A and B are shown apart, each in its own frame.
Chain A
């Protein structure tokens, strides 16, 4: 089942601005992962946050996780044209071995 749902679906920003996207899920999770996909290419892993973590940073990326609200956010600071891509969250339910992806957020960074 498709568990992760990102919001908003499409975002257009100027270079240098911050981009924030959200993901909600329905069940208990072990961790939540964010991936980036450049047009038509394979997904690339960005960051993983475990269920007992609330915030994690990696370079210009900041991820938060609120297990009480079953939601996560991905913040990209000081965006660059190269950040133009689709961003997906993914979760694995406890009790099965299936990784479920959201429908993705398309982010366009205008130079």
Chain B
């Protein structure tokens, strides 16, 4: 089944404790991206990747890192999480470019205390 998976689905952590949210897709998509969703603010793009080893900042990259060492994986790293990073996070992928249909993961609900 074609899908985007994210882990963990739920995470409660404390300020400053490094964490990684994994994202994997099995559709051989080139484009992958991370979004955060907050009430009243909609979805905002954090980082995106056009292909392996090609990443770039989205609208709200501060406090986040990403890497794209393999085509299927695009982990989101929070080196020192803070409470303002409490949010619902989504990974998405698409064939080729962002102009195409995006396939979303199920989401990761992160709480930073």
Contacts and interface: CB of A to CB of B under 8 A. Distances in A.
Given A98-B98, A103-B40, A40 B48 contact: no
Interface string B69-100: 00000000000000000001010100001111
A97 B98 contact: yes
Contact of A101 (B42, B48, B99, B103): B42
Contacts, number: 66
Chief secondary structure at chain A's binding surface: strand
Given A97-B50, A98-B58, A92 B98 contact: yes
B62 interface: no
Q: Could you say which interface size class chain A belongs to?
A: 20 to 34
Contacts of B4: 42
A43 B90 contact: yes
Interface residues of B, number: 30
Contact of A42 (B44, B56, B105, B109): B105
A19 B63 CA distance: 39
B104 A44 contact: yes
Contacts of B97: 92, 97
Interface of B: 4, 31, 33, 35, 40-45, 48, 50, 56, 58-59, 88, 90, 92, 97-107, 109
Interface of A: 1-2, 30-31, 33, 35, 40-45, 48, 88, 90, 92, 97-104
Given A45-B103, A103-B40, 7 more contacts: A42-B105, A42-B106, A48-B100, A48-B101, A98-B45, A98-B59, A99-B102
